[in-house]
Amino acid sequence: MRWLLVDGFNLVFRSHFAMERSNLRRQSDQFPTGALHGWIKSLQDLRDAEKPDRCVVFFDLGGSDRHLAVLPDYKGQRDDTPPDIILQLPEIKKLTALLGFAVIQERGVEADDLIATAVHRLAAAGDECIIVSADKDFGQCVGAQVLQLAPPPTANPALGWRRLDAAGVEAKFGVPPTLIADYLALVGDTSDNIPGLKGVGPKTAVKWLQQYGGLEGVLGAVATIEPARFREQIQADADRIRSNLSLVRFKTDFAFEPGGVPMEDVRGVAAFLEAMEMHSTLRRYQAKHGLSVGQEKPTEPTVRPLTSPAKPAPGPEQGELF
């Protein structure tokens, strides 16, 4: 079976910023719709291109409890989520369910961990997984049955979508997927506010990991490692760098129950687009599915959390683009 696993907020932010200049709004009340226009196009294009058997979108629902317990400032440097995204998010989830994509979210658990859990279980069962995200952390999940599909960077959309297999991950970062977490622990991850070893950039980290085989090998070589100027710093920061590894390495022991196979509610999607006054997208959708004007039917899809909400959720967080 072929699965399409979408990093929800990563793609939501991309959809928003790709359409931001158009300032698309519902004329009756000026409700923003730009991200919704970009979102439905992205999901339809992905499904048409990849032809998966199952599609799942994962969303964050509040902060990540396990990360915040280790690093209280985890992702603390990020700007507030744009108000237009916050307004559109409930509608994006409704539209996602209408399109036939399962929606999974769990309070206090980062979507990245939920995706990694799904990949771990599905690949072990022999299924093929395509992770849709620009987050470089997912390089550690890539393998024989797992690909990462990264959207075009907003700064250079001409690059197009990029498919990363294990060889592609190693070509990009200099280390194989099995060492991506070790690599990030050393260099840090500015998008998540995780500081690495001061002064250590990608080239030095790659050289050390290739020479010593992994993070513990690097830390264990403190007496002889070159350049020598790092020896004292490695000795002083060893525990913090090990802590970094717990932050950047995914947990894969969460629940993954996508439920039955959801079907696209074609008339429900058309009714949604009509209600949102997304006329150009509605016309394209009607043409794609052979619908005539007036065939729309309202539907109330449900978005299923994995667990019951236990506390109010902060605003959504932006995924890193690379």
The dihedral sign for the CA sequence 248, 254, 256, 257: negative
The mean pLDDT value for 81-104 works out to 96
CB 108 within 8 A of CB 310: yes
What does the alpha-carbon distance between residue 191 and residue 100 come to, in Å, rounded to a whole number?
31
Q: DSSP letter at 291? A: P
Query: Is it the case that residue 278 has pLDDT exceeding 60?
Result: yes
Query: Any alpha helices (H) in 176-250, and if so which ranges?
Result: 180-187, 202-212, 215-220, 231-248
- For residues 221 and 308, the model is more confident at 221
Q: DSSP letter at 185? A: H
Q: Count other Cβ atoms within 10 Å, centred on residue 67.
A: 21
State the pLDDT at residue 286: 96
pLDDT confidence band for 317 (50 / 70 / 90) = very low
What does the alpha-carbon distance between residue 172 and residue 299 come to, in Å, rounded to a whole number?
44
pLDDT in tens, 94-126: 999 999 999 999 999 999 999 999 999 999 999
What does the alpha-carbon distance between residue 108 and residue 66 come to, in Å, rounded to a whole number?
8
Amino acid letter at 147?
L
pTM for this structure? 0.88
Amino acid letter at 219?
L
β pairing state of 146-150 and 128-132: parallel
Residue with tokens 């967080």: 317
What does the alpha-carbon distance between residue 64 and residue 45 come to, in Å, rounded to a whole number?
30
pLDDT confidence band for 311 (50 / 70 / 90) = very low
What does the alpha-carbon distance between residue 51 and residue 4 come to, in Å, rounded to a whole number?
9
Which structural domains are found in the chain, ordered by start? 2-173+254-265+301-305 (3.40.50.1010), 177-248 (1.10.150.20)
Count the helix, strand and coil residues of the chain and give each as a percent rounded to the nearest 5: 50, 15, 40
Diameter over CA atoms, the chain: 75
The dihedral sign for the CA sequence 255, 259, 264, 267: negative
The mean pLDDT value for 233-250 works out to 95
